[in-house]
Amino acid sequence: MKRLLIALILTCIPAHYVFSYTLTGWFEESKISVFGGVATHHIEKRNSTEDVNLMNYLSYRNEFYLGVDAHVYLHEQWQFNIKTYLNSSLRTDDVFAKLIYMPHEKIGVTLGYASIPVQYGLYEIHEQPQYYTTIPNSDDVYDFAKNELFLAGLAFPFEGGKFSGTIYLQGGVSYLPNDFSFSWQNKYDSNERRLVEYDIPESYAFIIQPEVEIRWEIAKPTTDTSIGLQFQGKWNYSKRNIDYTRNIYTWTTDNKQTEIISHPKQSIEGVDWNVGLFYIF
């Protein structure tokens, strides 16, 4: 881990000279950072009822990750940031982007987007006490989806001595796409067989997400470059439910029973923090 971080920082240093020659007139300053952190989400659980509550089987990846972050300071008071995480499956499924306009040195306006993987526990959703359940593909233990966030807010940069950073106050919409899942079920001690479908429409929920980034400058290799430690943290909160239509076909597709299921909203709370190194050039 230590060797990887050092190698990435040393790789970034020559990039200063490349950007100086190829992007002069476009970027005033750039920052690259590498870090490690932890993201956790807590979803409020409700007591099970006769109808499956999909929120009880929705989950995020709560795990350690490695990440890389690129931040460019453009002319005319514009900034752009993009970030991604490398998770334990060696996949970069998490993507975060932010556009910042700074009309004043002490306050700015932000527009943000995030794509975060989520999953449903398929076996748990389809499991019924009176029926033996068969998922069509035995590898489909989970059904994966993307939770997309569309954010807007304010940015408050600060600086004092070797410390600098930005506080972001953001809110917006959390979006889950439509989904579909089905299983075959055989009744215990009976010949009864049925097909159960879950048709999940897309859903939206309001979300708040404050963030903070704090940098501590350790060294300045040249007049226009600096290296230091960085901390990033964010918290988000939303309340949502996942409605769905359940179709049950007993024996044949002509014998169809359709139910529209809705449950009260449940809270989702997320905490994400990381520590790493940054290089400004």
In angstroms, the CA 183 to CA 170 distance is 40
The whole-number pLDDT of residue 75 equals 77
12, containing H or E segment: helix 2-12
Q: Which residues of 46-73 are buried (b: 16+ CB within 10 A; e: fewer)?
A: eeeeeebbbbbbbebbeeebbbbbebbb
The whole-number pLDDT of residue 10 equals 44
Radius of gyration for the chain, computed over Cα atoms and rounded to the nearest angstrom = 24
CB within 8 Å of 64: residues ≥ 6 apart: 36, 37, 38, 88
Instruction: Give the model confidence (pLDDT) of 195-234 as tens digits.
Output: 999 999 999 999 999 999 999 999 999 988 999 999 999 9
In angstroms, the CA 168 to CA 210 distance is 5
In angstroms, the CA 142 to CA 193 distance is 23
CB within 8 Å of 24: residues ≥ 6 apart: none
Torsions phi, psi of 122, nearest 5? -65, -45
Report the SS3 class of residue 7. helix
Report the SS3 class of residue 57. helix
Which parts of the chain register pLDDT below 70? 1-27, 123, 135-142
> CA triplet 105, 107, 110: central angle to 5 degrees?
120
Instruction: Give the model confidence (pLDDT) of 52-87 as tens digits.
Output: 899 998 999 888 999 999 999 987 799 999 999 988
The closest alpha carbon to 222, from 75, 17, 41, 68, belongs to: 17
The whole-number pLDDT of residue 49 equals 72
